[in-house]
Amino acid sequence: MKLKLIIPIICLSITSSCTTSNNTEQEPVKAAVIVNTPVSEPKSEPKPVPPIVVAKAPVMPEPKTEPCEKRSFDNKITVNISEQKLHLYCNYGNDKQEVKTYSVSTSKYGIGSEAGSNKTPLGLHKIKNKIGDGAAQNTIFRARRNTGRKAIINKPNSGDLVTTRIMWLTGLEPGKNSGRGIDSYKRYIYIHGTAEEEKIGEVASHGCIRMFNKDVIDLFDRVDEGTKVEIIR
């Protein structure tokens, strides 16, 4: 009878090594470990970003006021008291003619030429003196002198301030607006700016012709001394 020798084999699953019962140790079988190492792609140089160019809007020069051609027999101002309007009949050098209209305010005391009446005189005048060229808008004038102060427009109780520009009128009709006791120049009748702009378009002045401050600058730049001014009802 043949006997079969059975040798037990003990396997360690962790190391995959086997040991016989007679303590004969075999080399452990190591499991192959596959490590996936990412392969980095070669870095490419970043492309240069072109600078952002912001296009600037062209700076447009401010439009200049085109003065009327200096021919006083063609250029004329009419002040219409009933309309509370001033009309400038302007003649340009290229035979172009234009009528510009501005709102004004004449005397709240009515029409008249008497000294001390504070009324607006009628008849033909001319601009004898232009005063205030280059002064800032709303500048206050006292006795035709620049005070260096600015008026607060439409401030309550600001009074009969003369602002921005002055065009001093002299009468051309003796016995009507020129001469003793009725002389427009000696009465200081002006076309001028005012601090009471809210009253433009209605009678409110003390004898002069008031204008919006921006409008009196525009008119001042368009006319010359000697320009005729006719004040009508």
Calpha distance 226→215 (Å, rounded): 19
pLDDT of residue 14: 38
126 is a domain residue: yes
94 is a domain residue: no
122 is a domain residue: yes
Per-residue pLDDT for 193 more than 60? yes
Calpha distance 25→201 (Å, rounded): 123
- What pLDDT band is residue 69 in, cutting at 50, 70 and 90? confident
DSSP-derived secondary structure letter, 153: T
90 is a domain residue: no
Overall domain count for the chain: 1
pLDDT of residue 46: 64
pLDDT of residue 179: 98
Calpha distance 149→135 (Å, rounded): 10
pLDDT of residue 12: 40
pLDDT of residue 64: 73
Average pLDDT over residues 151-163: 95
202 is a domain residue: yes
Per-residue pLDDT for 120 more than 90? yes
How many Å from the N-terminal Cα to the C-terminal Cα in the chain?
Answer: 160
Lowest mean pLDDT among 29-38, 68-77, 100-109: 29-38
153 is a domain residue: yes
On average, the pLDDT of the chain sits at 83
11 is a domain residue: no
User: What is the CATH number for 189?
Assistant: 2.40.440
pLDDT of residue 119: 98
Calpha distance 108→206 (Å, rounded): 7
Structure tokens at 209: 């012709």
pLDDT of residue 226: 94
Per-residue pLDDT for 168 more than 90? yes
**In contact, 102 and 77? CB cutoff 8 Å:** no
Highest mean pLDDT among 10-14, 64-68, 172-176: 172-176
204 is a domain residue: yes
Determine the structural domain holding residue 119 and report its residue range.
106-217
Per-residue pLDDT for 13 more than 90? no
Give the percent of the chain with pLDDT over 70: 71
